[in-house]
A and B are shown apart, each in its own frame.
Chain A
Amino acid sequence: MRIKTLSVASVLAALAFAPVALAADPAAAAADGKKSGWMQESERDDALHLTPNKDKGREVYEVCSACHMPNGWGLDDGTFPQLAGQHRTVIVKQLADIRAGNRDNPTMYPFALPSEIGGTQSIADVADYIAGLRMTPENGVGPGTDLEHGAKLYADNCVRCHGANGEGDNDKFYPRIQAQHYNYLVRQYQWIKAGKRRNANPDMVKQIQTFTDKDTLAVLDYVSRLKPPAELTAPKGWENPDFK
């Protein structure tokens, strides 16, 4: 699939037309009546203590594949993130948080519900399956015009949690961000910065408050071009044999 790149102007324009206005102040967004927190109450810990069943996880994943694609690569325009290769703990936390109303995602919400994917065991199972999928070799990337600046910002701000290569940390629930679609990174980052992504880590929220739009797009363009190790990456055009 062709890698689609987007100009800075078009990405900022897209953000300007984001359906919901972004709060300038994270505290104001949280005061919307909805709770915020890094580790809110959810099925997360229960799910992580269960023994996952990858075969059952594959069955659960059928529902997810309609949007995240059979290969788990989502859409390179960033509408749906790549899930393939994401840390098991991160998938569990996000699913549990969406289900519990700790993270807003209107499109995704039905598909986190027990009626659609099953109970706590299903969360454990599908996370295990997804974590084992190999990643896209051609994710959506940014315009490539400010990468030196992006690299510096990344080294100074992001390595501490997301790792030198964007590999994240399974034990600490820090997501793998390498090879993630640029537009998805931008959208999540803006939401984290504005307090709209209510299950974000508060250290990150604080860390990025002084980033300008130029900084944001530069660092995320850099991130979108970080490559996972070869053994975690699928060949171009790979089709998931589980869904043939």
Chain B
Amino acid sequence: MRVRGFHGMILGAAVLMSAGTALAEDAAPLDGKKLFLTKTCVACHGKDGSKAILKYPNIAAQDAKYLAAQIKDIKAGTRVAAKGDDGNPRTKGMADVLHLVDDAQIDAISTWLAGLPAPAPAAVENAERVAQGADLYKKSGCITCHGPDGKKPLATYPKLAGAKKDYAALQIKDIRDGVRTNGKSKLMVSFAKKLNDEQIELISEYLGTVAQ
């Protein structure tokens, strides 16, 4: 039976990994794409890192250094999150499997992801809200670090253009509330503290519609 689409890709690579010997894994330890498919990343972040399930982020076309730092911080427990619907911190499901990759593999996966096409932005569902969000983005100082329209951030900072709105809102809230403190996020607290939940959601809705 022919399996179509991305499942065919995971399964092809997974068969390679499981049927192979130590040699197959050793032969291609730094193949970022193969690692993405066989180390479980694809299950949550979707084909080509741009069809993430639920509120997990799309990670294709993100800054490579930023990605690698996030993965390593989640692995080390220095990046955490508020609780999700299952009562566990949202990062726990990922933290629990990151022993499957070492630093070199994380770097390879991040480099591969950074080189992929950006996911398509969300359609504008409410033009009024998106306009308010765009205005808030400008007025709240976000451009300082994340660039106009969230497209050209400072080095090692994340691009925000096209980010899934639910994910972006959760991150801004977590940073504002001191739940997420890794990397440079503490520098963002004073900016985020000026925003209430509704304003964060407006900014996030706007960002979700911006093409990279």
Contacts and interface: CB of A to CB of B under 8 A. Distances in A.
Interface of A: 1-2, 19, 34, 58, 62-63, 65-67, 69-71, 73, 75, 79, 101, 104, 106-111, 113, 115-116, 237, 239-244
B97 interface: yes
Interface stretch (B88-96, B104-112, B142-150, B186-194): B88-96
Given A101-B87, A106-B86, A65 B99 contact: no
Contact of A65 (B10, B97, B100): B10
Interface of B: 1, 3, 7, 10-11, 14-15, 18-19, 21-22, 40, 42-44, 53-54, 56, 77, 84-89, 92-97, 99-100
A244 B15 contact: yes
Nearest to A238: B19
A2 B25 CA distance: 12
Contacts of B97: 67, 79, 107
Given A62-B7, A66-B40, A243-B3, A19 B86 contact: no
B93 A109 contact: yes
Contacts of A115: 53-54
A117 to B, nearest CB: 11
Contact of A239 (B1, B15, B21, B86): B15
Contacts of B22: 2
A65 B11 contact: yes
Nearest to B90: A106
A58 B104 CA distance: 35
A110 B56 CA distance: 10
Contacts of A111: 43
A62 B77 contact: no
Contact of A106 (B54, B77, B96, B100): B96
Contact of B11 (A62, A101, A107): A62
The 6 closest A-B pairs by CB, nearest first: A106-B93, A66-B43, A106-B92, A107-B93, A106-B88, A243-B11
Contacts of B88: 104, 106, 109
A104 B15 contact: no
Contacts of A73: 18
27 contacts: A19-B77, A62-B3, A63-B43, A65-B10, A66-B10, A66-B14, A66-B40, A66-B43, A67-B97, A70-B15, A79-B97, A101-B86, A104-B88, A106-B86, A106-B88, A106-B92, A107-B94, A107-B97, A111-B43, A116-B53, A116-B54, A239-B18, A240-B15, A241-B1, A243-B7, A243-B11, A244-B3
A179 B172 CA distance: 46
Given A19-B95, A106-B96, A65 B87 contact: no
Contacts of B7: 62-63, 65, 243
Contacts of A70: 11, 14-15, 18
A19 B15 contact: no
A32 to B, nearest CB: 9
Nearest to B88: A106
Nearest to B97: A107
Nearest to B94: A107
Contact of A69 (B18, B42, B44): B18
A79 B86 contact: no
Nearest to B56: A110
Contacts of A69: 14, 18
Nearest to A240: B15
B19 A67 contact: no
